[in-house]
């Protein structure tokens, strides 16, 4: 189990993280979300032992994760970190990068393991291509595979699919997270993307104001978002009569006490997002067709 107890950290005088505590069980997928600058990457760096905490402690099982003050070499065998900088070796091939830390004593096993990982990150046809010629997204996938090569007990992922195009993202995400679950590898993933969380994360931490605002199952947070920050992670929402209401929970109706005027319709694929004025407040809702500008409408809340 990963046990983070009451850690605090600052780069300068201003604290970045204050009194952070949480746990992650073996094989669990824990997502860390929060606005840009909220400290997600800093937290991952602390978990990895890249920096020394000012206060508190971090344990993986019985090993305390210590920073550079106590360790000549940063990092631990059982933990891998895929940061935003991939730190790959540009002049050797994709397969060589992945196999770099695998033993040469067992060439057949090394070959099979490399092939397995190439499949997980959907890069099989790039096995013999030099890394320097790859795109950003392809490099990100090599970095993921390399981190998995020696099968860590815990992996830290910072925006793991940020460079990957939408076309590949969905299947790659399923492939990587399924692999981690099957191997019972604990995964801590920092992300902006709700698609990295929904359907994959067992728990979700929201960082805000240097602290953990909430730590719960994504379903629980989705069903009952306590703050606009949490709701905004899941999608378009409104605050109507002091309640957070998602855009899909607002519907058109014949007559109601929620009288609004249409401002704009945005094509969103299988629906239109309608922007309207409701008692001088903006309201957003989903509708199957475009609505005429300035049209008077009545709304109901279906939540
Ligand atoms: N090396 C550093 N030295 C000083 N301050 C830093 C350093 N790295 C980050 N910070 C500051 O710490 C805060 C948290 O940064 P961090 O990168 O952890 O946030 P984040 O949530 O990962 O952001 P993003 O989502 O944009 O990647 C920010 O205010 C940032 O300016």
Atom of ligand 1 nearest to the CA of 43: 18
User: Mean of the pLDDT values across residues 72-76?
Assistant: 89
> Tell me: the pLDDT tens digits for 114-129?
999 999 999 999 999 9
Query: Which stretches within 150-293 are classed as H helix?
Result: 166-182, 218-223, 228-234
- pLDDT category at 77 given cuts 50, 70, 90 is very high
% the chain with pLDDT above 70: 100
Q: Give yes or no for a contact between 44 and 190, defined as CB atoms under 8 angstroms apart.
A: yes
Supply the mean pLDDT for the chain.
Answer: 94
> Tell me: the pLDDT tens digits for 250-294?
999 999 999 999 999 999 999 999 999 998 889 999 999 999 999
**pLDDT of the residue at 236:** 93
**pLDDT of the residue at 85:** 87
**pLDDT of the residue at 105:** 85
pLDDT over threshold 80, residue 169: yes
pLDDT over threshold 90, residue 64: yes
Q: Is the CB of 97 under 6 A from ligand 1?
A: no
Atom of ligand 1 nearest to the CA of 207: 21
Residue whose CA is at the smallest distance from ligand 1 atom 27: 36
Strand positions, DSSP E, 109-257: 154-158, 186-190, 203-208, 211-216, 237-240, 243-246, 250-253
- pLDDT category at 104 given cuts 50, 70, 90 is confident
Helix (H, G, I), strand (E, B) or coil at 176: helix
Helix (H, G, I), strand (E, B) or coil at 5: strand
User: Mean of the pLDDT values across residues 233-251?
Assistant: 93
Atom of ligand 1 nearest to the CA of 39: 18
| Candidate from 38, 50, 81 with most ligand 1 atoms within 8 A of CB, to mutate | 38
d(CA 29, CA 204): 9
Instruction: Give the residues across from 208 on adjacent strands.
Output: 211
From the CA of 38, how far away is ligand 1's center (Å)? 7
Atom of ligand 1 nearest to the CA of 84: 27
d(CA 64, CA 47): 10
Q: Is the CB of 13 under 6 A from ligand 1?
A: no
| Candidate from 7, 10, 11 with most ligand 1 atoms within 8 A of CB, to mutate | 11
**pLDDT of the residue at 279:** 85
Closest CA to 66 of 54, 81, 53: 53
Q: Say how many residues make up the chain.
A: 303
Q: Is the CB of 32 under 6 A from ligand 1?
A: no
Q: Is the CB of 37 under 6 A from ligand 1?
A: yes
| Candidate from 7, 16, 84, 160 with most ligand 1 atoms within 8 A of CB, to mutate | 16
% the chain with pLDDT above 90: 86
Strand positions, DSSP E, the chain: 2-10, 15-24, 29-34, 55-60, 63-64, 79-82, 154-158, 186-190, 203-208, 211-216, 237-240, 243-246, 250-253, 258-267, 272-278, 281-287, 296-301
> Is the confidence metric ipTM above 0.95 for this complex?
yes
pLDDT over threshold 80, residue 6: yes
**pLDDT of the residue at 129:** 95
- pLDDT category at 24 given cuts 50, 70, 90 is very high
User: Mean of the pLDDT values across residues 195-223?
Assistant: 95
- pLDDT category at 86 given cuts 50, 70, 90 is confident
- In this predicted model, which residue has the larger pLDDT, 139 or 101? 139
**pLDDT of the residue at 153:** 97
> Tell me: the pLDDT tens digits for 170-202?
999 999 999 999 999 999 999 999 999 999 999
pLDDT over threshold 80, residue 303: no
pLDDT over threshold 90, residue 106: no
Q: Is the CB of 42 under 6 A from ligand 1?
A: yes
Q: Is the CB of 209 under 6 A from ligand 1?
A: no
Residue whose CA is at the smallest distance from ligand 1 atom 30: 37
> Tell me: the pLDDT tens digits for 36-56?
999 999 999 999 999 999 999
């Amino acid at each position: 189990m990963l046990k983070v107890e009451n850690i605090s950290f600052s780069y300068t005088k201003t604290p970045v993280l204050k009194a952070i505590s949480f746990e992650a069980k073996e094989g669990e997928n824990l997502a860390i979300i929060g606005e840009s600058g909220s400290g997600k990457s800093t937290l991952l760096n602390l978990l990895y032992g890249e920096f020394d905490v000012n206060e508190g402690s971090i344990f993986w099982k019985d090993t305390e994760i210590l920073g550079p003050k106590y360790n000549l070499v940063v990092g631990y065998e059982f933990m891998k970190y895929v940061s935003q900088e991939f730190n790959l070796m540009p002049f050797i091939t994709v397969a060589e990068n992945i196999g770099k830390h695998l033993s040469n004593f067992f060439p057949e096993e090394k070959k099979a393991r490399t092939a397995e990982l190439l499949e997980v990150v959907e890069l099989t046809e790039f096995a013999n291509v030099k890394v320097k010629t790859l795109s950003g997204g392809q490099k990100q996938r090599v970095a993921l595979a390399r981190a998995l090569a020696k099968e860590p007990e815990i992996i830290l992922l910072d925006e793991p699919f940020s460079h990957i195009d939408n076309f590949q993202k969905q299947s790659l995400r399923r492939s990587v997270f399924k692999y981690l679950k099957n191997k019972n590898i604990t995964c801590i993933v920092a992300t902006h993307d709700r698609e990295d969380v929904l359907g994959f994360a067992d728990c979700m931490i929201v960082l805000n104001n240097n602290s953990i605002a909430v730590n719960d199952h994504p379903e629980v947070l989705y069903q009952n978002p306590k703050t606009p920050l949490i709701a905004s992670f899941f999608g378009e929402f409104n605050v109507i009569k002091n309640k957070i209401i998602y855009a899909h929970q607002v519907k058109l109706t014949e007559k109601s006490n929620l009288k609004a005027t249409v401002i704009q319709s945005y094509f969103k694929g299988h629906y239109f997002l309608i922007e309207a004025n409701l008692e001088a407040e903006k309201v957003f809702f989903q509708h199957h067709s475009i609505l005429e500008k300035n049209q008077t409408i009545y709304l109901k809340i279906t939540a």
